[in-house]
């Protein structure tokens, strides 16, 4: 049995477009060519794939059984061609990304989608962790590139490209019917604060610590859950808190005399490892995003 790609293509397109004529127009061939290719495939298989009538063709039971396999062959051929074209154009074929758990949101997924569309044959590995781990993995060469919260502490082994910045706010467990809770800075100091442990690891705790009693956690999601449980208050990205304010899962702490603050995130990579095309595309995407 000797089957051809053209036969499988004619079979699949005839099924998907409802006839030899529509399949021919889609493939840029004559109707008789598509009909002959399907006929030859049926002869080679010794199976009838379509029930033919004057106005339409419908799959037989055998045709229905074989359709998904033929479709898979064509899909794999398409991936093969994309991979070969990528190699011909010296495109990267693999990219490993470490992303801060605090930044694993819809925007990050959209960034990966854009990267996949630009390099469809690219194999992407995503590793998530806390902020310190992201920088460690990049430094050790375990991943090609990282996307993390800004640490305000810079390693000479890494290159940092600042991405978007975002506004911060103070949040506490929701108070019934109160989206905002006003307190003085003195009152705030008497409440337990929940903060990021990497500030303490980097010796930067004093810049973000207000209260005398602390709980430290690795990422925004952990901190939010602790705040929702009533264990304390926290400084968090406003874009993460706004939906929770609206759902009355958190209340905003309005602190008299406290100035508005912002934070940012960084794309990081190892200085001794020049960026390839995929790394450049990843960096450009996130560094062009508007501030939140």
DSSP for 164-192, please give it.
Answer: EEEEEEEEEEPBTTBSEEEE-HHHHHTSP
CATH 3.40.190.290 positions along the chain are 164-262
CATH 1.10.10.10 positions along the chain are 5-88
**Which regions in the chain score pLDDT beneath 50?**
none
- CA-wise closest residue to 165 among 289, 32, 251: 289
| pLDDT reported for residue 4 | 92
- 128: Cβ contacts below 8 Å, ≥ 6 apart: 98, 99, 100, 101, 104
What is the domain class of 164-262 according to CATH?
alpha beta
CATH architecture of 5-88: Orthogonal Bundle (1.10)
| pLDDT reported for residue 210 | 81
| pLDDT reported for residue 84 | 81
| pLDDT reported for residue 11 | 95
CATH 3.40.190.10 positions along the chain are 94-163+264-287
Task: Read off the pLDDT of residues 173-225 as tens digits, 9 standing for 90 and up.
Answer: 987 766 678 888 888 888 999 988 877 666 555 556 788 888 999 889 999 99
| pLDDT reported for residue 178 | 63
| pLDDT reported for residue 206 | 55
CATH number of 94-163+264-287: 3.40.190.10
DSSP-based three-state secondary structure for 271: coil
- 272: Cβ contacts below 8 Å, ≥ 6 apart: 157
DSSP for 220-253, please give it.
Answer: HHHHHHHHHTTS-BEEEEHHHHHHHHHTTSEEEE
């Amino acid at each position: 049995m000797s089957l051809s790609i053209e036969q499988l293509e004619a079979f699949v397109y005839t099924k998907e477009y409802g006839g030899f004529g529509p399949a021919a127009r889609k493939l840029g061939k004559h109707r008789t060519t598509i009909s002959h290719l399907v006929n030859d495939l049926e002869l080679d298989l010794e199976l009838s794939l379509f029930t033919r009538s004057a106005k339409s063709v419908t799959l037989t039971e055998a045709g229905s059984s074989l359709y998904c396999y033929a479709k898979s062959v064509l899909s794999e051929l398409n991936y093969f061609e994309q991979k070969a074209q990528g190699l011909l154009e010296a495109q990267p074929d693999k990219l490993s990304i470490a992303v801060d758990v605090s930044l694993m949101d819809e925007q990050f997924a959209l960034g990966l989608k854009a990267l996949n569309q630009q390099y469809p044959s690219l194999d992407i590995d995503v590793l998530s962790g806390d902020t310190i781990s992201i920088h460690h993995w990049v430094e050790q060469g375990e991943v090609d590139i990282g996307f993390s919260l800004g640490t305000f502490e810079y390693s000479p082994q890494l290159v940092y490209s600042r991405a978007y910045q975002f506004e911060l706010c103070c949040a506490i467990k929701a108070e019934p019917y109160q989206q905002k809770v006003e307190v003085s800075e003195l009152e705030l100091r008497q409440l337990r604060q929940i903060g990021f442990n990497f500030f303490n690891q980097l010796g930067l705790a004093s810049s973000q610590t207000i209260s005398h009693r602390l709980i430290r956690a690795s990422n925004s999601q952990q901190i939010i859950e602790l705040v929702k449980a009533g264990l304390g208050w926290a400084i968090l990205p406003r874009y993460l808190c706004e939906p929770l304010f609206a759902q009355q899962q958190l209340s905003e702490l309005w602190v008299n005399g406290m100035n508005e603050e912002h934070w940012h995130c960084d794309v990081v990579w190892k200085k001794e490892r020049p960026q390839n095309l995929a790394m450049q595309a990843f960096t450009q995407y996130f560094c062009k995003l508007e501030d939140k």
